Chain A
């Protein structure tokens, strides 16, 4: 939880109490909204289950692996990423207008939302804490190379870094470079090499063992 975690302890003053004041407040709001008939508690369960188990970066990894393995699919992604991604069953909320950004030997793409935390949910799930954090949102546009160093990535000066600030409803998915030595890999094997961070642009795909 990085820097975001510490402040919970400020609220958690009473050692041993079952719920923090914030937890109690959320619980109270849920009771109220259910009592007023605005919210179906079973719908809340479905929403939580969806983002815990159904939607996550495995989806995006499948898109990337297919793009690596299938030039026609890569071409479709370039022309109409929303439709190409929907053909694999990933669509809807926070992925209505998708654009795929292909990394190349000359160009590295990296995605941020400086104004909120826009993120392509259908392919990557909910964003990690660091993506929503003030350090990332503030620094990604002004010093992307230093931010990448925080992730252990030191890019050569001759490589262009393109930072995409998601200010509208367009959502970006980075297609990392395909690792060398994977010519005979199946799509399933390729997908294993695709990390979440490599699809945000704060990492590279894994090298095969």
Chain B
């Protein structure tokens, strides 16, 4: 979807302001909000692509105005309510009024180190033939799906070159919508600044793209 999350190439958001000796948290509620997002993710109620898609479905102005952890908190609530894990009234009142839904797992404290160490690898065996090889010239498709995609707007319909092949990975455009992991070949594609932005520099942008985003040139 062409949502507020697809930021590449925008102007008007001002300079990048780095903070010297930045602390991990800036508000007392941030660590709790962040930990709730992670712990609920560990219940297995959604996958990473569904979680990203929830964030990009927040109202655009809310997405842009919120701080990062605030935005994650709003997206968590959206998912909890959509899945019936929590009702809107419960969220409002902070008290249970309907019984919990079963979840796949509740992460106990002693399970956390192993869960974090295992992570969530996205490579999967696939039976599709590899369509492109290193050095191949490709063009990204001009797609504007209503759903989730990881092909940024600024790189649609652009010509580039395959510079890395990563094997077959979970395809977010399917996985964010309950359509299965549908592994596809994942490539890094190099685009010149000239191709993307009409800028006459020697600079380039490298983007990780799945095969369905690409066609041969």
Contact = CB atoms under 8 A, between A and B. Distances in A.
B205 A163 contact: yes
Nearest to A45: B109
Nearest to B100: A36
A94 B38 CA distance: 12
Contacts of A164: 205-206
A51 B32 contact: no
Contact of B8 (A44, A47, A165): A165
Contact of A97 (B112, B122, B204): B122
A27 interface: yes
A35 B94 CA distance: 9
Contacts of A132: 68
A142 to B, nearest CB: 5
A166 to B, nearest CB: 7
B35 interface: yes
Contact of A42 (B66, B108, B155, B164): B108
Interface stretch (A3-11, A62-70, A176-184): A3-11
B24 interface: yes
B208 A166 contact: yes
B146 interface: no
Interface string B84-123: 0110001101111000100100111101110111111111
Contacts of B121: 96-97, 169
A129 B117 contact: no
Contact size class for A?
A: 35 or more
Interface in A5-40: 5, 7-8, 19-20, 22-23, 25-33, 35-40
Interface string A46-66: 111011100000000000000
Nearest to A151: B18
A26 B32 contact: yes
A165 B207 contact: yes
A147 B18 CA distance: 11
A187 interface: no
Given A40-B109, A46-B112, A23 B120 contact: no
Interface string A128-141: 11101111111111
Contacts of B109: 40, 42-43, 45-46
6 contacts: A33-B40, A35-B95, A115-B152, A117-B68, A151-B16, A168-B210
Question: 10 smallest A-B Cβ distances: which pairs?
Answer: A28-B94, A114-B8, A2-B17, A168-B208, A138-B10, A42-B109, A169-B122, A92-B119, A44-B35, A36-B100
